[in-house]
Amino acid sequence: MRIPCPFCGSRDSGEFVYRGDAAPVRPAGDEAEAMFAYLYLRDNPMGAIEEHWYHAQGCRQWLVVTRDTLTHAVAGAFSVGGDAA
């Protein structure tokens, strides 16, 4: 897989650290049920997914990468800050 880093260009996925699904958002409060869902429950989609990848061997920026879990095809990436590739 190659990931189109908005800062470094197209780079091998081996340069990145994978975190996982970018959809869960940390809840504002500390309500137990919401924290449980955020920490542990996942949609685990089959097909397109937005994920967090960290460009550890490059610009050291966190990216949101759109990828297909059935084909591994990468559709695009933008930085968590918002710059599109």
Partner 1 sequence: MTRYSLFQLAAKALTGHRGWAPAWRDAAPQPAYDIVIIGGGGHGLATAYYLAKVHGIRRVAVVEKGWIGGGNAGRNTTIIRSNYLLPGNTPFYEWSMKLWEGLEQELNYNAMVSQRGVLNLAHSDGQRDAYARRGNAMRLHGIDAELLDVDAVRRLAPFLNFDNARFPIKAGLLQGRGGTARHDAVNWGYARAASALGVDIIQNGAVTGMLTDAAGAVIGVETTRGTIRAGKVGMSVAGHSSQVAAMAGLRLPIESHVLQAFVSEGLKPIIPGVITFGAGHFYISQSDKGGLVFGGDIDGYNSYAQRGNLPTVEDVCEGGMALMPMIGRARLLRSWGGIMDMTMDGSPIIDRTPLAGLYLNAGWCYGGFKATPAAGWCFAHLLATDAPHETAAAYRLDRFATGHLIDEKGQGAQPNLH
The residue from 1, 34, 56, 75 that contacts partner 1 (CB under 8 A) is: 1
**Structure tokens belonging to residue 9:** 């260009």
21 binds partner 1 (CB under 8 A): yes
**Exactly one of 10, 23, 31, 36 binds partner 1 (CB under 8 A); which one?**
36
* Cα(61)–Cα(19) distance, integer angstroms: 13
- Does 69 sit near partner 1 (CB under 8 A)? yes
76 neighbors 6 (Cβ within 8 angstroms): no
Q: How far is the CB of 15 from partner 1 (least distance, A)?
A: 10
Burial class (CB in 10 A: 0-12, 13-18, 19+), 8: middle
Residue 66 binds to partner 1 (criterion: CB under 8 A): no
Pairing of strands 48-54, 62-68: antiparallel
Interacting residues toward partner 1 by CB under 8 A: 1, 12-14, 18-21, 32-33, 36-37, 39-44, 46, 49, 51, 67, 69-72
